[in-house]
Structure 1
Amino acid sequence: MNINKNPIIIALDYSEESQVWELIDKFDDEQLFLKVGMELYYSCGNNLLHKLKDKGHNIFLDLKLHDIPNTVGKAMKSLARLDVDIVNVHAAGGRLMMERALEGLVAGTVSGKERPMCIAVTQLTSTSQEVMQEQLKINGNIEDVVVHYAKLANESGLDGVVSSPLEVPLVKESCGTSFLTVTPGIRMIGDSKDDQQRITTPKQAKSLGSDFIVVGRSITASKNPLEAYLKIKNEWNDISETTIS
């Protein structure tokens, strides 16, 4: 399955493998793009990734690596062997770290396979302007910081960034339309914002230029996850304007 034909990434915010299969079983034979984050990966490990790939699903392995360049490079060399589709780092680790991450992915990718795409987290969608400035001591407004990190990731050779959909137009303007934007912070109208701050609906995200949207609780916490997923798909395919109340 070509990942560019499946822009909706479902966040598997679980700790148990049984919860994953309980969800996936509700999708019949639908081929999905699934995000495996730290909670699930640290609980279930590589075995779950192999099972998901065997079923034909795409995987965004969301571990947000951030360490010294040598360590990140070696870690990415190991992750490249898992045949996942996207991996990520924190752009705050700097250019050399991101370059080493890419080198590790290239070195670790099995001959004949495409290396995983590597994207960089700019600022988490749970981070507000106030938190960024007062707690993280990063000056400037959040849009400028996101664009700066996106440029740094682009100069380091990475494939794209994670940001809020709200910052996508600025990222595309600065880094080009082919530079990927993977955007969490997606909510349907009426959904709780939970711990997210910079959010949009699926329609808004597409109209702003997002390449992929990451959707978690709006699908996984729904009484009918397949229905919720298809509703989001339909909304993605109609870019008329909506607002979050």
Structure 2
Amino acid sequence: MSNPVYLALDLPQLAGAKALAEKVRGHVGGLKLGLEFFCAHGAHGVHEIRELGLPVFLDLKLHDIPNTVAGAMQALHVLEPAIVTVHAGGGRAMMEDAKAAAGENCKVVAVTLLTSMDGRDLERTGVAGTAHDQVMRLAGLAQDAGLDGIVCSGHEVKAVHDSWRDGFFVVPGLRPGGKPTADQKRVVTPRQARDDGASVLVIGRPISRADDPLAAAREIEATL
């Protein structure tokens, strides 16, 4: 992949999302559409974004019984996503069925631990161990289920890459300055994540909310 940056287009207005994507398309490698975008614009919105000619990552974090998730994956075929996310917490059977139902050219990756969560949040949900422990545990489960890879923070990607050499690793929560912003807690710089084995770098607000999104995208690309 020549440019691993996927711009997160979680904007409420389709016209605004398309305009932003058009502006920076020469400096990103793909476009990530999450729940906010999909709930607002549905399949029509995905088709509109695909017209820009960049790979589309549907970050829907599917999490349900295996049969339901498999049905959802089949329903997504028409959108031709390059990447789709499921939650590793759904279990091995769910992940196996998700991969079996995915399109031939679609990578299925499992979300391990949200970058908005840390060890204290885990403890409150009844999960023992550190954030690192949880990510490694779920990464092993995703690998056993035959998935293409996982989503994890830049804090864990090196360890996961070392144990899963041919895995596909999506790293969100990136900040060019390396400092936490808003609801993100476990963040690193795009350069560090790439050096540690990230396949895809998901970047949203540092570009989408910048005073000059094009300049911000160029600056991030230059660091890679």
The alignment's TM-score, normalised by the length of structure 2, stands at 0.95
User: Match of 1:220?
Assistant: 208
Q: Does 1:165 align with 2:175?
A: no
Query: 1:40 deviation in Å?
Result: 0.6
Determine which structure has more spread, i.e. the larger CA radius of gyration.
1
Query: 1:32 deviation in Å?
Result: 4.3
1: CA distance, partners of 2:206 / 2:180: 9
Amino acid at match of 2:162: E
Query: 1:207 deviation in Å?
Result: 2.0
Aligned match for 2:136, one of 124, 138, 147: 147
Query: 1:210 deviation in Å?
Result: 1.2
User: Match of 2:35?
Assistant: 38
User: Match of 1:126?
Assistant: 116
Query: 1:157 deviation in Å?
Result: 0.7
Give yes or no for contact 1:23–1:220 (8 Å, CA) kept in 2.
yes
In the comparison of the two structures, how many residue pairs are matched? 224
What CA RMSD, in Å, does the superposition of the two structures yield over aligned residues? 1.6
Amino acid at match of 1:127: M
Q: Deviations over 1:89-131 (max 9, x none)?
A: 00000000000101111xxx3xxxx331000000000001100
Give yes or no for contact 1:31–1:56 (8 Å, CA) kept in 2.
no
Matches within 5 A, 1:5-24: 5-24=2-21
Q: Does 1:235 align with 2:208?
A: no
User: Match of 1:95?
Assistant: 92
> Which sections of structure 2, spanning at least 5 residues, go unmatched?
none
1: CA distance, partners of 2:171 / 2:38: 20
2: CA distance, partners of 1:198 / 1:126: 7
Q: Percent identity?
A: 39
2: CA distance, partners of 1:123 / 1:190: 19
Aligned match for 2:190, one of 178, 185, 202: 202
Give yes or no for contact 1:191–1:218 (8 Å, CA) kept in 2.
no
2: CA distance, partners of 1:155 / 1:80: 24
> Which sections of structure 1, spanning at least 5 residues, go unmatched?
237-245
Amino acid at match of 2:127: I
Q: Deviations over 1:213-239 (max 9, x none)?
A: 110100000111111111111112xxx
User: Match of 2:163?
Assistant: 174
The alignment's TM-score, normalised by the length of structure 1, stands at 0.87
Give yes or no for contact 1:181–1:211 (8 Å, CA) kept in 2.
yes
Q: Deviations over 1:150-193 (max 9, x none)?
A: 11101111000000011011111222x21011000100227661
Matches within 5 A, 1:103-114: 103-105=100-102, 109=103, 114=104
Matches within 5 A, 1:36-115: 36-105=33-102, 109=103, 114-115=104-105
Give yes or no for contact 1:7–1:212 (8 Å, CA) kept in 2.
yes
Query: 1:148 deviation in Å?
Result: 0.8
Query: 1:81 deviation in Å?
Result: 2.4
